[in-house]
A and B are shown apart, each in its own frame.
Chain A
Amino acid sequence: MINLREVAETNAMIEKENLDVRTITMGISLLNCIDDDLDRLNQKVYERITTAAKDLVKTGEEISKEYGIPIVNKRISVTPIAMIGASACKTKEDYVTLAHTLDCAAKEVGVNLIGGYSALISKGMTKADELLIRSIPQALSETERVCSSVNVGSSKTGINMDGVRLIGEIIKETSVLTADRESAPCMKFVVFCNAPDDNPFMAGAFHGVTEADEIINVGVSGPGVVKTALEQVRGESFEVLCETIKKTAFKVTRVGQLVAKEASKRLGVPFGIVDLSLAPTPAVGDSVADILCEIGLEHAGAPGTTAALALLNDQVKKGGVMASSYVGGLSGAFIPVSEDQGMIHAVEAGALTIEKLEAMTCVCSVGLDMIAIPGDTKATTIAGIIADEMAIGMVNQKTTAVRVIPAAGKKVGDVIEFGGLFGYAPIMPVNSFSCDAFVNRRGRIPAPIHSFKN
């Protein structure tokens, strides 16, 4: 039988160390909504989402109360809208109507974000894909809860550089269009290489075409729990350090597994995956950077950071994999800047640069995440940053992503506020040497060879 010490340990994790289930995300396929009449399409999409997810928020809250574990977000991901709207949308404004429909449906069922305003263009771009991408600035500016993503490359297909160039322009356009809000809506857009179909985390969540009609995916988080556990093993060997992270990751992930199974049972929707991640929030004590410091760095970004992060990421996966029957999504440690108090401190102290973050993305879960850059950064420079990050993903056969916010009117040294879970970000300097001639070439980068690894 469970004893007092175990109960106290679990409750201390929840109450003092910010253990939570970060999100229950319901994936909903919209393939059966496809129609060539735009009004009918919008109506079907709205009905499909509001029917499938009508009990999602209520169920999440019930589970949260019964087990005494916070479930911070309830979210929805849908089939990439570029596909769904392909036969009905003739202009980018037509696509924007779909964004509004998603926004309304999200508000109706009470989820805080809905992802899937997306296009998958890793090899080529259809006319519909291009229309959707060109509609992104307007869609993000006019809606509140819609998240958008584009997959521009993969290890199997290479990188679609026409897509990368276009995305650079789109991010810039979104920044200008939303200048009145410090360009914050840019944070609802992410560009991927090797995007997974079952990622529950925004802004990159979408319901892949390889998925069933509906699915429940859960993302857990507990950087604070890992940090506290590591405080007990200061100065110990790497073996002890790694074992401690593994054990802690196991415990954290078990909670995700429980919530996922329970939500799946109550909603009558199959359980997809648990994303076993360390996803920070701006709350004090909920930081991945603090774990890196606890491992032995003065600040995230100091020499040794990439190795420490590689170790952390690997142990989280090793501990988590056994705790859940199905693991997927982006699993690993997230290193967003604005959402992590320790990362913000590191940037402010001058310890952490975009270049170091780029190196860190080679060994961690995703990529350059929630990074604010000067508003006058050129579209081609943004495309260059994206291309670099995509290349890391392509060659290393991992998911990488870029979510940068060129904050209109702001320069290095300024700060932008996103509010709530998204935190605030100091504007980071960007290498200002030109990559115009590189980015302006047409076509795509071929897929890399998967042999002769060295």
Chain B
Amino acid sequence: MNRTIITVVGKDTVGIIAKVCTYLADHSINILDISQTIVQDFFTMMMVVDMKGADKPYEEIQQDLDKVGEAIGVTIKCQKEEIFDMMHRI
């Protein structure tokens, strides 16, 4: 298990989830959990994914996701889960 948190933040538009998920599926990244909310037209999504089977190195996936985000007009961040665990769980 190589748990990573992907966050997508930006203006809401059609197909954000679809495009991000398509990319993840294409690169064998398994989605474990998705939560999403919209505050005043602002789209915020968080995915917990498992990168264990990914067919590319972590850094390249980050760069690709940057491009995917740029194309849709949202910001996509990809961070290992430990940073959140460390901060919010004792």
**B30: Cβ under 8 A from any A Cβ:** no
Measured in the bound complex, the distance between the Cα atoms of B88 and A251 in whole Å is: 7
Query: What is the CA–CA distance of A65 and B87 in the complex, to the nearest angstrom?
Result: 17
Pick the most buried of B35, B85, B86, B89: most chain A CB atoms within 10 A of its CB: B86
Q: How many A-B residue pairs have CB under 8 A?
A: 59
Q: Whole-angstrom distance between the alpha carbons of A67 and B62 in the complex?
A: 11
B residues in contact with A66, CB < 8 Å: 58, 79-80
* Cα-based distance from A4 to B62 in the complex (angstroms): 20
**What string of 1s and 0s marks CB contacts (under 8 Å) between B49-87 and chain A?**
000000000110010000000000000011111111111
Q: How far is the CB of B45 from chain A (nearest CB, A)?
A: 8
Contact yes or no, B44 A8, CB < 8 A: yes
A68 to B79, CA, bound (A): 6
The secondary-structure label for the interface of chain A is helix
Is residue B37 within 8 Å, beta carbon to beta carbon, of the partner chain? yes
Bound CA span A257–B78, Å: 20
A7/B7 in contact, CB under 8 A: yes
Residue-wise interface mask of B (15-45) relative to A, using a CB-CB cutoff of 8 A (1 in contact, 0 not): 0000000000000000001011100000010
**Cα–Cα distance between A8 and B77 once the two chains are bound (Å):** 11
The answer to whether A258 and B82 touch across the interface, beta carbons within 8 angstroms, is: yes
Q: Given A2-B88, A8-B44, A68 and B83 touching (CB < 8 A)?
A: yes
Do A1 and B82 touch (CB < 8 A)?
no
- Shortest B17–chain A CB gap in Å is 14
Q: How far is the CA of A62 from the CA of B57 in the complex (A)?
A: 12
> Complex Cα distance A68/B37, Å?
22
Is the Cβ of B37 less than 8 Å from the Cβ of A2?
Answer: no
Q: How far is the CB of B75 from chain A (nearest CB, A)?
A: 9
- The answer, yes or no, to whether A6 is at the interface (CB within 8 Å) is yes
The 4 closest A-B pairs by CB, nearest first: A68-B79, A254-B86, A67-B83, A6-B88
19 contacts between A and B (CB under 8 A): A2-B81, A2-B84, A4-B37, A4-B44, A7-B5, A7-B7, A7-B46, A10-B83, A11-B77, A65-B59, A66-B58, A68-B78, A68-B79, A69-B83, A254-B86, A254-B87, A255-B86, A257-B86, A258-B86
